[in-house]
């Protein structure tokens, strides 16, 4: 059985990271158009750096939970027939032990130099005075994160795996952001069974063949084990 799993912010909620669109979510406190677009970064890079510096330091204080760990057991059982695609920019999947993982919206702990186009690991704060470790240029380093209006990463590979999968499982995502919101329909069209595991009904629940609702740390291990 070939399985593609898509995760969103809900899988990391019980580790202590905020989701985006819940009442206490990131976008209830901040305007995404002022922080998560290339235009926002061009207009006020220090504001955008400060937002991601805070989130990078939050990440250091949290740990993977039972849902991240259950996905590692699924990967161990399926090998090459498994692919995990996450919209999350945290690194809790890899800290739990996931290896076959695509960060389609980038990673908080990675940086991208717009002068030399290199991408590299990044710890600590990033500012407009940060120098690229590859080319030395100052002022061209940005978080390696996919903002609104930018192309998510490795989409060809993701679409190919969705076309070939037998089971598509979405975990902890509202289905509000494209192209990830369309994955369920792509998998359905090619005959895959589709399952939603989420705290509550999402915008896309009706698109899935079945759904289980509850906290990820309970419903994900129960589904997998
Ligand atoms: C729990 C839980 C618990 C809580 N247990 N569950 C078509 C139509 C309309 C618009 C567009 C369109 N196509 C493109 C667009 C524009 C745009 C878009 O989608 N806008 C919408 C708002 C309408 N999309 C883009 O710009 C994307 N680029 C693009 O499409 O390029 C062109 C392209 C076309 C075709 C193919 C390929 C490319 C880029 C999107 C970039 C998103 N970036 C962000 C922010 C950056 C990172 C950051 O700062 O962190 O990524 S936005 C934010 O939303 C973040 C997330 O990854 C993303 C998804 O959110 P997620 O994970 O679903 O979180 P929530 O909060 O929404 O939901 C959490 C869920 O968990 C809830 O349901 C809870 O109930 C649940 N939950 N606790 C289980 N304990």
Over residues 53-66, mean pLDDT: 97
Within 10 A of 127 (CB to CB), how many other CB atoms are there? 13
Ligand 1 atom index nearest CA of 216 = 5
Same CATH topology for 1-17+65-105+152-225 and 26-61+108-145? Answer: no
- Torsion, Cα 110 202 205 197, to 10 degrees, reads 60
Does ligand 1 lie within 6 Å of residue 130's CB atom?
no
Look at residue 187 in the predicted model and tell me its pLDDT: 98
CATH architecture of 1-17+65-105+152-225: 3-Layer(aba) Sandwich (3.40)
3-state secondary structure of 78: helix
pLDDT in tens, 82-131: 999 999 999 999 999 999 999 999 999 999 999 999 999 999 999 999 99
- pLDDT tens digits, 7-41: 999 999 999 999 999 999 999 999 999 999 999 99
Q: How confident is the model at residue 65 (pLDDT cuts 50, 70, 90)?
A: very high
Q: Is the pTM higher than 0.90?
A: yes
**Tokens matching residue 163:** 């076309």
Which H/E stretch holds residue 7?
strand 3-7
The 10s digit of each residue's pLDDT in 120-179 is 999 999 999 999 999 999 999 999 999 999 999 999 999 999 999 999 999 999 999 999
Q: By alpha-carbon position, which residue is closest to atom 24 of ligand 1?
A: 178
Which of 13, 68, 177 maximizes ligand 1 atoms within 8 Å of its Cβ, making it the mutation to test the pocket?
A: 177
pLDDT of residue 82: 98
Tell me the average pLDDT of the chain: 97
Instruction: Please state the three-class secondary structure of 167-178 as a single string.
Output: EEEEECCCCCCC
Give the ipTM of the model, two decimals please. 0.95
**In angstroms, rounded to a whole number, what is the distance separating the alpha carbons of residues 187 and 17?**
29
pLDDT classification of 181: cutoffs 50, 70, 90? very high
> For domain 26-61+108-145, which architecture applies?
2-Layer Sandwich (3.30)
Known binding-site positions for substrate = 52, 55
Closest C-alpha to 63, from 121, 10, 25, 17? 17
- pLDDT confidence of residue 3: 98
Burial class of residue 63 (count of CB atoms within 10 Å of its CB; 0-12, 13-18, 19+): exposed
**In 3-state terms, what secondary structure has residue 210?**
strand
Look at residue 155 in the predicted model and tell me its pLDDT. Answer: 98
Q: How far apart are CA 98 and CA 93, in angstroms?
A: 5
């Amino acid at each position: 059985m070939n399985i593609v799993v898509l995760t969103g912010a809900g899988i990391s909620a019980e580790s202590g990271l905020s989701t985006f669109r819940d009442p206490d979510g990131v976008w209830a406190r901040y305007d995404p158009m002022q922080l998560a677009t290339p235009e926002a970064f061009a207009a006020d890079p220090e504001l955008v750096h400060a937002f991601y510096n805070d989130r990078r330091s939050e990440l250091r204080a949290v740990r993977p939970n039972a849902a991240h760990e259950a996905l590692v057991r699924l990967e161990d059982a399926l090998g090459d027939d498994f692919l995990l695609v996450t919209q999350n920019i945290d690194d809790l999947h890899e800290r739990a032990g996931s290896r076959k993982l695509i960060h389609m919206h980038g990673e908080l702990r990675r940086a991208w130099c717009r002068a030399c186009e290199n991408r590299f690991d990044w710890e600590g704060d990033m500012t407009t005075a940060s120098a690229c470790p590859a080319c030395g240029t100052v002022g061209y380093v940005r978080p390696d994160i996919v903002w609104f209006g930018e192309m998510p990463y490795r989409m060809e590979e993701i679409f190919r795996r969705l076309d070939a999968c037998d089971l598509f499982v979405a975990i902890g995502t509202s289905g509000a952001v494209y192209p990830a919101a369309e994955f369920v329909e792509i998998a359905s069209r090619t005959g895959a069974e589709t399952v939603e595991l989420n705290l509550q009904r999402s915008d896309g629940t009706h698109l899935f063949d079945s759904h289980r609702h509850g906290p990820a740390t309970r419903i994900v291990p129960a589904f997998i084990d």
